Each structure stands twice: as structure tokens, then as C-alpha cells.
Amino acid sequence: MNDALLETLRQQVAAGGSLTDALAGAAGGDPALALLSQMLTRREQALEQELETQAEGERLEAQRQREDERLREEARAREERQRQDLRRARLERLRWRLGELEGELAAAQTRLDDLALALGACPDCWGEDPGCRLCRGRGGPGFLRPDPAAFGRWIVPVLPDGSALSPAGGAASGPAPVATPPGGYVGAEPSPTPERTRT
């Protein structure tokens, strides 16, 4: 390849043309240059194909990564919804149990108050609290007049037959006999009673 041909190729490439086109234009009837031009053309096409394949692979990889990230986001959102559903279910069970316990407590308090009426005890503390505003710690059983109806419900059923007395101290009459327990009092005001000995 002479200097004139090299200069021609250099000028065409500098002008913005490709080396393949420059060789094709300068080959003329030279078989060697024509063969070189064909080889360069095939090499250039192969490089372009390789670049296109690489670009397509990068595009597919980016698409795959976006799809994977979308699936991960959906999985995280699904797990979060499941956790929230579990929390709501647990909270609902706790609320239900709380309501159940509140009902049981109210029923037990009602029975305890009724038993206090039957025994003539302070319904607030049963004589256990010296600071009680109702009895100042003196309201154990027998501190107040027993309530006849409550006494009949709670006490009379456990007394031996024939021993039931009315809370007023008289003999029982009628279908629901009641009795005044030891230490009970009958009157308008309660009399002070000694502190109970705690065991």
C-alpha cells in the first residue's frame, strides 16, 4: 500500500467516512484491497451485531431486575397485610375476652354485694379497710341488719332443718323462713363491733 493511498484513506476517514467505505472507494481493481475491504465490512457488521446483542442483554437484565423488584414489593406488601390481619384478629380476640371478663367481674360483684346484704356486711370492704367511707373497717358480717330476701337466698338453704330464724329474731313463717345470724343486730343504727381477728 503506497503513501498516496494511505493519504487518501486518511483524508476520507478524517472527513467523517468509515475506513471500510474508504477502502471500498480506493480499492478500484486491486483484489487485495477489495478483500481487505470485505473483511473489514464483515468485522464491522459482527461488532455491530455483538453490540446490539449486548445492549439487548442489558435491556433484558434491567427488565428482569425491575420485575424481580416488583415481585419483592408485592411479597412485602402481602406479608405486611397478613401481619396486620393477624394483629387485628388478636386485638379482636383480646377485646372479646376483655368484654367477657368484664361481664364475669360484674356478675361476681353483684353476687358478692348480694352476699354482703345477706350477712349484714359492708358491701364495699367487708370490714377489711379501716379507711372505708361506709364502715371505717368495722363492717364485717353482722355489722348491719341482714337483708331478709338476700338472707333467704344465700343463708337459709345451708341451715339445718328447723333452725331457720327470721333476721328480726322471731320464728320463721311462710314459705321462705329467714334467720338472724349470730352477731346480727336489729335496730335503726348499727352498734360498733370489735375488729375481727384475721388469721
- Does the pLDDT of residue 9 top 60, yes or no? no
Contact status, residue 138 vs residue 196, Cβ threshold 8 Å? no
Contact status, residue 7 vs residue 26, Cβ threshold 8 Å? no
Average pLDDT over residues 174-199: 38
Contact status, residue 162 vs residue 155, Cβ threshold 8 Å? no
Contact status, residue 37 vs residue 24, Cβ threshold 8 Å? yes
Q: pLDDT tens digits for 10-39?
A: 665 565 556 566 555 555 556 666 666 677
Residue of higher predicted confidence among 144 and 163? 144
Question: Could you state, in order of their start, the residue ranges of all structural domains in the chain?
Answer: 2-23+31-158
48: pLDDT confidence band, cut at 50, 70 and 90?
A: confident
pLDDT of residue 39: 75
pLDDT of residue 74: 95
Let me know if 67 is exposed, middle or buried by CB neighbors in 10 A (0-12, 13-18, 19+).
exposed
193: pLDDT confidence band, cut at 50, 70 and 90?
A: very low
Longest Cα–Cα distance in the chain:
149
Q: Helix (H, G, I), strand (E, B), or coil: what is residue 7? A: helix
42: pLDDT confidence band, cut at 50, 70 and 90?
A: confident
Q: pLDDT tens digits for 56-114?
A: 999 999 999 999 999 999 999 999 999 999 999 999 999 999 999 999 999 999 999 99
Q: pLDDT tens digits for 116-149?
A: 999 999 999 999 999 999 999 999 999 999 999 9
